[in-house]
Amino acid sequence: MPLVCIGLEKEVCTLHVVVFTRSTPDTAARVEVGKDGSVTWGDAAMVVNPWDEYALEESILQAKNAGGKATVIAIGPEQHNDALKHSLAMGVDEAARVWDAALEDADSLAYAAAAAGAVKKLGDVDLVILGKESIDVGTDQHNYQIARKLGWPMLSYVSKIVAVDYSARTIKVERLLEQGRQIVTSRLPAVISVMKDINEPRYPSFIGIRKASKAVIPEWSLADLGVSLPPTRTRTLKLMNLPAREGQVEMLDGTPEEQAAKLVERLLEEKVL
Amino acid sequence: MSAVFVWIETFKGSASPTSWEALGAGRLVADKMGVPLAALVFGENANAVAAEAGQYGADKVLVCDDATLHGFRLEPYAALLAKLVMEHQPKAVLAVGTTRGRELLAAAAADTDSGLLTEVTSLEVQDDGSIRVVRPVYAGKILSEAAGSPDGVQFLALRGRAFKANVPKPDAKAEVTAVQPALAEDQIATKIEGFEEETGTVNLTDAAIIVSGGRAMANNPKEAPAGTANPEVWKAQDGFENVLKPLADVLGGAVGASRAAVDAGYIPYAHQVGQTGKTVSPDLYIACGISGAIQHQAGMRTSKVIVAINKDAEAPIFKLAHYGLVGDLYKIVPALTAELKKRLGK
């Protein structure tokens, strides 16, 4: 769904979109806790956080359609440059990475403060697009906290951008909630998080990959952003492997009718019906 | 008021059933800390829901039935929760981590510079007042033990179906106090323009029973009508509607799907279970024609009882399942539906 520019001539219809991403282990990776208590994923590749692909695609579409630009930002050490280069190869215009030793044990509040600082440093941002969640940390809480630290409205679970009205400075979106679809408008600037069904992320082109490989990605410290972190209020004590599943699978044989009868018998015994 | 706060989520003036789970967890935390349990009810019909909260174990209820709070919007809800947290300095704030619960707690935690732990599956209050929790990370492939700090207000978003609600006591009453909203309508940047409710479907994350279909849904023996552009998709869609849904219906459950089935266009994305879909934890999960890729397992492995129906006896799903049925789902599922109708007297 292309962006609809209302109220201004196409030539002056510009938009600065910021999108955040990070590198996470490939979704097929077997993630485990090693003997030293740290996370390992064998020789599985690091990929762009799968949810971010939809945010990256949407930022490219929106920026292109409005004749504006998209900037991608990662917060983390150098390994996250891979996700940034993938983003550039897809067609995002510019990239930056925020890192500081003080972010080493950052919780979501510190992450959000740094992210909001980066958006403020860019200055002219109209829209921040985020993936639904980060699979490594297993949460989406930083999304909402970025919006609050910016003081901008937050529209989560967006399945479609219906329109952007430049003269009124508003955005209209469709959100996918538990009970159905909601249509909602908000003023800009705003933060949105997008769902899987908003688009089909593109693969990086050959030319895009070549261009991205040469890109020099600036690194910003917290001092560059003028951000001081809020106190850390949560800490991870340890990581654990999942408890092994107890018992063996019980195979139920026979004709389909016999299998069905045996299963219903077991389910009644288990009291799950 | 030193207390433990629990936000009661409502939809169209009724409490979401999982909210009472949060109140159950809140009761444990409040008792251990020796403070009262206060429920927060915002929105339409708040007073009736407040009375119900009393029956489910709340000592106090703070209610705000203001027009700005009819229909959930993050800004007025978060501003009000943050205001109440600043005023009352509760020890902890709990809610079930639904789509609304997660964003509300995250926003109010940010506004008050408080710590937040989400997707909490178990919790324990330590002697120093910190709350220690277990939560899945890396898409449910490993677990993290984490703790909040007793120096601040500890926000916890709970995984749905991980905690038990208290049995309601019809005579129990909570002390109800009305509070004022934090924002007026002209201070709110978002406006709801419409809502298209999906009726007749059971919400996946709340469902006690889920029947899911995978790629093998395309093996429907029924013939697609002549001229159907994509017979494979037609067969799979027909199978979801006329074979899986009747089984889900007789069980009072919801229909789920694997990513392969969603990507092939067999069923909408809202039904997807797994790493890039929904994480579910029902009492009973029946996987039909799903091989059980690691991404799918991540979304359903905490289900209490897992049943796998698959033609391929070597499919990885059988390693996770409690009961395995090797065979054609198009033969087994109808037999299962018929057997259940007979046994459950439907």
Give the distance from CA A170 to its chain's centroid: 23
Q: How far apart are the first and last CA of chain A?
A: 44
Chain A CB within 8 Å of residue B136 CB: yes
Residues A242-247 have a mean pLDDT of 80
Structure tokens at B58: 């709340």
Q: Which chain B residue has the Cα nearest residue A238?
A: B145
User: Are B102 and A154 a contacting pair at CB < 8 A?
Assistant: no
What is the spatial distance between Cα B265 and Cα B259, in angstroms, rounded to a whole number? 10
- Going by their DSSP bridges, the two strands B175-178 and B190-197 should be labelled as unpaired
CATH number at residue A45: 3.40.50.620
Report the pLDDT value the prediction gives residue B285, as an integer from 0 to 100.
Answer: 98
Residue A2 binned pLDDT confidence (cut-offs 50, 70, 90): very low
- For the cut 90, the answer to whether the pLDDT of residue B138 exceeds it is no
**Closest-CA residue of chain A to B333:** A260
Instruction: Answer whether A263 touches B (CB < 8 Å).
Output: yes
Q: Which chain A residue lies closest to B283 (C-alpha atoms)?
A: A272
Q: Is B160 left (phi over 0), alpha (psi -120 to 50) or beta?
A: beta
Q: Which has the higher per-residue pLDDT, A1 or A218?
A: A218
The reply to whether residue B144 touches residue A144, judged by beta carbons under 8 angstroms, is no
Q: How many helices (H) and strands (E) does chain A have?
A: 7, 16
| Residue A262: inside a domain | no
Please give the average per-residue pLDDT across B302-313, as a whole number: 96
User: What is the rounded (10 degree) CA torsion for A178, B281, A31, A96?
Assistant: 20
Is the distance from CB of A199 to CB of A78 less than 8 angstroms? Answer: no
Count Cα neighbours of A149 within 13 Å in the Cβ-side half-sphere. 29
pLDDT at B346 over 90: no
Q: In what side-by-side order are the strands of the sheet with B60-64?
A: B115-120, B154-158, B92-96, B4-7, B37-42, B60-64, B175-178
pLDDT of A1? 35
Which chain B residue has the Cα nearest residue A109?
B110
Q: Express each pLDDT in B266-297 by its tens digit.
A: 999 889 999 888 999 999 999 999 999 999 99
Chain B within 8 Å of A14 (Cβ-Cβ)? no
B321 inside 8 A of chain A by CB: yes
- When CB atoms are compared, the residue of B116, B147, B294 closest to A141 is B116
- Please report the residues numbered 97 through 136 in chain A whose beta carbons come closer than 8 angstroms to any beta carbon of chain B: 107-109, 112, 135-136
pLDDT for the residue numbered B108: 98
CA distances from A161 to A50, A58, A174, B283 (A): 20, 9, 6, 37
Mutate to test the interface with B, among A52, A143, A249 (most CBs of B within 10 A): A249
Segment A152-159 shows an average pLDDT of 97
CB-based contact A25 B319, cutoff 8 Å = no
Quote the CA–CA distance of A141 and B276 in Å, as a whole number.
17
> With 80 as the cut, is the pLDDT of residue B198 above it?
no
Where residue A3 falls among pLDDT bands split at 50, 70, 90? very low
Judged against a pLDDT cut of 70, whether residue B87 lies above it is answered with yes
Residue A4 has pLDDT above 50, yes or no: no
pLDDT at A10: 46
Collapse the DSSP code of A264 into the 3-class scheme (helix H, G, I; strand E, B; otherwise coil) and give the result.
helix
Assembly ipTM: 0.92
A112 interaction partners in chain B (CB closer than 8 Å): 110
Q: Inform me whether the C-beta atom of residue B226 falls under 8 Å from chain A C-beta atoms.
A: no
* Residue A6: predicted pLDDT: 53
Q: Answer for the pair B74, B103: CB distance below 8 angstroms, yes or no.
A: yes
- Read off the pLDDT of each residue in B68-73 and give the average, rounded to a whole number: 95
Res. A112: pLDDT tops 70:
yes
Question: Cβ neighbours of residue B17 under 8 Å, at least 6 residues apart?
Answer: B165, B206
CA distance A9 to chain B (A): 25
Average model confidence (pLDDT) across chain A: 92
* pTM to 2 decimal places: 0.92
Mean pLDDT (whole number) for A258-262: 97
The two three-digit tokens of residue B309, written as one number: 């129906």
Question: Which residues in chain B touch residue A182, judged by CB atoms under 8 angstroms apart?
Answer: 192, 194-196
Residues 41-70 in A contacting B (C-alpha not used; CB under 8 Å) = 50-51
Sort out which chain B residues have CB atoms less than 8 A from A126's CB and list them.
none
Q: Model confidence over B9-68: pLDDT tens digits?
A: 999 999 998 999 999 999 999 999 999 999 999 999 999 999 999 999 999 999 999 999
Residues in chain A with CB shorter than 8 Å from the CB of B322 are 247, 249-250
Q: Is residue A258 part of a domain?
A: no
Task: Report yes or no on A133 lying in a domain.
Answer: yes
pLDDT of A12 higher than 70 = no
Q: Pick B179 or A247 by higher pLDDT.
A: B179
Contact with chain A for residue B146, Cβ under 8 A: yes
Question: How far apart (Å, rounded) are the C-alpha atoms in residues A5 and A189?
Answer: 15
pLDDT score at A244 = 80
| pLDDT tier at B140, thresholds 50, 70, 90 | confident
Q: Give the model's confidence band at A247: pLDDT under 50 very low, under 70 low, under 90 confident, else very high.
A: confident
Count of the separate structural domains present in chain A: 1
Q: Give the span between the Cα atoms of B168 and B165, in whole angstroms.
A: 8
CA within 13 Å, CB half, B250: 20
| Residue A243 forms part of a structural domain | no
How large a percentage of chain B has pLDDT more than 70?
98
Interface size between A and B, measured as CB pairs under 8 A: 254
Could you tell me the residue range of the domain that residue A183 belongs to? Answer: 5-225
For chain A positions 145-164, those within 8 Å of chain B (CB to CB) are 145, 147-149, 153-157
Q: Which of A12, A1, A58 is nearest to A166 (CA)?
A: A12
Domains and CATH numbers, chain B: 4-187 (3.40.50.620), 209-344 (3.40.50.1220)
Beta carbons of A26 and A45 less than 8 angstroms apart: yes
Instruction: Note whether A260 contacts B336, CB cutoff 8 Å.
Output: yes
Q: Please tell me whether residue B193 adopts helix, strand or coil conformation.
A: strand
Shortest Cα distance from A185 to chain B (angstroms)? 5
Contact status of A196 with chain B (Cβ, < 8 Å): yes
Q: Do B116 and A108 count as a contact with CB atoms less than 8 A apart? A: yes
- For residue B318, the chain A residues in CB contact (below 8 A) are 249, 251
Does residue A13 surpass a pLDDT of 70?
no
Pair B161, B203: CB distance under 8 Å: no
B99 in contact with chain A, both atoms CB, cutoff 8 A: yes
Q: DSSP labels for B145-191?
A: EEEE-TTS-EEEEEPTTSSPPPPP-TT---EEEE---S--GGG--EE
Residue pair A128/A193 in contact by the 8 Å Cβ criterion: no
Amino acid at B293: A
Single-letter residue type at A223:
A
pLDDT tens across A33-50, in order?
999 999 999 899 999 999
The closest CB to that of A185, out of B193, B272, B305, belongs to B193
Shortest distance, CA B143 to any CA of chain A (angstroms)? 5
